[in-house]
Amino acid sequence: MNFLAYYSINDLIAIAPQLILTIFGFIVTLVDLWLPKTEKSANAFIALMGFILAGIVSVMMFDSGTTSAFVGMIVTDNASLFIDLVIIIAGILAIAMSVNFVDREDINIGEYYSIILFSSVAMMFFASTYNLIVMFISVETLSIGMYILTGFLKNKSESIEAAMKYFILGSFASGFLVLGIGIMYGLFGSVDLNVISASLTKAAAIYKALGILAFMLIFIAFGFKIAAFPFHAWTPDVYAGAPTPMSAFMSVAPKAAAILALMRLLVVGMHPIQIEWTQMLWIIAAVTMTFGNTVALWQKDLKRLLGYSSISHAGYMLVGITAANSLGYGAVLFYLFGYLFMNLGAFSVAEFISKKGDTNTEIANLKGIAYKYPLIGAAMLIFMFSLAGVPPTVGFIGKYYLFSAAVQSHLYWLAIIGVINSAISAYFYLNVVVTMYMKGDTEGEFSILNSGLLKTTILIGAVGTIIFGIFPSYILSIALHSIAF
Amino acid sequence: MANWFIAFIALVLLFVIFAGMVIAAKYLAPREYDKEKYDLYECGVPMVSEFRYFNIRFYIIAIMFTLFDIEAIFMYPWAVYFEELGILGVIEMGLFIIMVFVGWIYAYKKGALVWE
């Protein structure tokens, strides 16, 4: 057997962004060992360098065609590079949010940054494969990083509790994933989604039914990662308990990777049973949106509110997938790109008002903040409007294309449910704005995390939300033509 | 169809035999108290005390052991296909060993190997 026929240097070029992040992860791990305790911020700098370099490389690789590497196990195409970029920007912003935060919480150790880097690598692999085994390994790797980062505030019991809950539920979901992959392999003799799709087309009715069962088991793990309705229960607890920069990172990056992997699974692998999965996703999308938005109405804590809002946004993205047309898939990618700015921005504001111990993030604490810090207030206003879907923000454009994709596929009721949900969500998002602007005593004292990098993050979030809301066409056209399937 | 029927009979038979063995063991086996039998098992060495706490350091040693165990496991298949993999295999294995070595340096600097 000649192995050299299967391997080439092109394989390594196809995973260049992942390789760069891996190398920088190792550098952070090693450099941290010799850094004195006062110089730990250098870790953040190295991690930022890694993310920026990986970002440049993935932008350069864009539009260079679909590359298949490692005997078809890794596929690098425009969609995966787009998601890579979303993960990288989320990583950069999360690290910028972290630098002063970890100092205040006294958790400034190198592992924090190296785990962010390593789990980002796993997310990128998760988004760039058609192979179920590679998906399983990368989802496990990224989850382990997320469990650790959730429990990083080791003196705060909520953080430990959230990590424990996340770990137990996540392992349970992984069990279902591996069971589903096992049944798939038993039925069709392959873990490659293209092969599974071909076999599923000509399978007998009984095997098709078993295939649907296996698909549902696999979907449990994906639904868990994107926080879709019956598998959402971990989301608010984990987002409220985790360190705020990590809640922000977790609400965007793993979700982006899981959404693209889910699209690959559904559109490529499960194409022969499209009628069945669109019916299933219709119900899940509708219930996810409604649940997230209605339960968020009663939330008092800003981070918990954003947790429920992230459930409902997963529902909006599922609408785009349920539409099952290329507009829908492109709109989902675009929505993820916009969601990155608005959600990271909103979490940054939650971090801005927090006290030591990562507490004090109740909505009531925003009272009058718009008068004391007018720019922060204006930025939060933009984020809340964008999350609610008010023009001219990116949230509006994203939702517009998601729902128009649903209408294009004649899913009128789903689009109507989505629009009604946007209206419901306006209540609790605007409630935050009302608290900031209209319930204020302007002389109140605020304890804030005064950090230049954090303010920069808020600024980038606000600018991104507005710019891509007013001029969406460039990113939108990239997102629409990234979808190769 | 006949094959499926035979398989079904085999399955039924399997359950009958299984149930039979469990029931037979319940009624036929002698039940006598034996001190050794209900003792905690520890590699055949007589127990000193039943309330013995393990040092937390054993946990770290176990993790380190797993690290090198995995390394060795991956080296066996490489050794089998050493000729065919050629220089590429050497490079890949070198990278893998470097990665594990970084893990070892990390553990060493963090003091995982210091017993005091």
Residues in A touching B86 (Cβ below 8 Å): 3-4
Q: What is the per-residue pLDDT for A438? A: 82
Mean pLDDT of A343-350: 93
A62-66, A152-156, A327-331, A377-381, range with the lowest pLDDT: A62-66
Closest-CA residue of chain B to A29: B106
Q: Is a pLDDT exceeding 90 seen at residue A126?
A: yes
Q: What is the per-residue pLDDT for B1? A: 58
pLDDT tens figures, A64-108: 888 888 888 899 999 999 999 999 999 999 999 999 898 888 888
Q: Measured between CB atoms, does A206 come within 8 Å of chain B?
A: no
Q: Architecture of B2-109 per CATH?
A: Up-down Bundle (1.20)
- The more confident residue out of A482 and A382 is A382
Q: What is the per-residue pLDDT for A441? A: 64
Q: Measured between CB atoms, does B77 come within 8 Å of chain A?
A: no
Looking at every residue in chain A, the average pLDDT score rounds to 90
- Which residue of A4, A26, A30 is in closest CB contact with B88? A4
A47 — pLDDT class (breaks 50, 70, 90) = very high
Three-state secondary structure string covering chain A? CCHHHCCCHHHHHHCHHHHHHHHHHHHHHHHHHHCCHHHCHHHHHHHHHHHHHHHHHHHHHCCCCCEEECCCCEEECHHHHHHHHHHHHHHHHHHHHHHHHHHHHCCCCHHHHHHHHHHHHHHHHHHCCCEHHHHHHHHHHHHHHHHHHHCCCCCCHHHHHHHHHHHHHHHHHHHHHHHHHHHHHHHHCCCEHHHHHHHHHCCCHHHHHHHHHHHHHHHHHHHHHHCCHHHCCHHHHHHHHCCHHHHHHHHHHHHHHHHHHHHHHHHHHCHHHHHHHHHHHHHHHHHHHHHHHHHHCCCCEHHHHHHHHHHHHHHHHHHHHHHCCHHHHHHHHHHHHHHHHHHHHHHHHHHHCCECCCECCEHHHHCCHHHHCHHHHHHHHHHHHHHHCCCCCHHHHHHHHHHHHHHHCCCHHHHHHHHHHHHHHHHHHHHHHHHHHHCCCCCCCCCCCCCHHHHHHHHHHHHHHHHHHHCCHHHHHHHHHHCCC
Closest-CA residue of chain A to B86: A4
Q: Is a pLDDT exceeding 60 seen at residue A294?
A: yes
Q: What is the per-residue pLDDT for A6? A: 61
Contact A441, A365 (CB under 8 A): no
Residues in B touching A33 (Cβ below 8 Å): 105-106, 109-110
A50-64, A363-377, A422-436, B30-44, range with the lowest pLDDT: B30-44
ipTM for the assembly: 0.77
Q: Helix A394-408 vs helix A452-470: angle between axes, to the nearest 10 degrees?
A: 40
- pLDDT above 70 covers what percent of chain A? 97
A with B: how many residue pairs have Cβ under 8 Å apart? 24
Mean pLDDT of A458-471: 92
Q: What is the per-residue pLDDT for B85? A: 78
- The more confident residue out of A445 and A56 is A56
Q: Measured between CB atoms, does A4 come within 8 Å of chain B?
A: yes
Q: What is the per-residue pLDDT for A237? A: 92
Residues 6+ apart with CB under 8 A from B2: none
- Which residue of A1, A4, A33 is in closest CB contact with B109? A33
- pLDDT above 90 covers what percent of chain A? 68
Q: What is the per-residue pLDDT for A440? A: 65
C-alpha distance from residue A319 to each of A139, A427, B89 (Å): 23, 21, 46
Ranges of chain B with pLDDT below 50: none
Q: What is the per-residue pLDDT for B54? A: 72
Residues 44 through 73 of chain B touching chain A, CB cutoff 8 Å:
none
Q: What is the per-residue pLDDT for B8? A: 87
| Distance in angstroms (rounded) separating the CA atoms of residues A17 and A141 | 17
For an interface test with A, the pick among B80, B85, B110, B113 (most A C-beta atoms closer than 10 Å) comes out as B85
Q: What is the DSSP letter of B76?
A: H
Q: Is a pLDDT exceeding 80 seen at residue A7?
A: no
For an interface test with A, the pick among B84, B90, B106, B113 (most A C-beta atoms closer than 10 Å) comes out as B106
Q: What is the per-residue pLDDT for B45? A: 67
Q: What is the per-residue pLDDT for A443? A: 58
Q: What is the per-residue pLDDT for B37? A: 74
A53-62, A266-275, A389-398, B60-69, range with the lowest pLDDT: B60-69
Residues 27 through 66 of chain A touching chain B, CB cutoff 8 Å:
29-30, 33-34
Q: What is the per-residue pLDDT for A2? A: 56
Mean pLDDT of A206-234: 91
Q: What is the per-residue pLDDT for A445? A: 66
Q: What is the per-residue pLDDT for A436? A: 87
Q: What is the per-residue pLDDT for A380? A: 93
Mean pLDDT of A348-374: 86
Mean pLDDT of A141-145: 93
- Which residue of A3, A29, A34 is in closest CB contact with B84? A3
Mean pLDDT of A11-30: 91
Q: Is a pLDDT exceeding 80 seen at residue A285?
A: yes
Q: What is the per-residue pLDDT for A89? A: 95
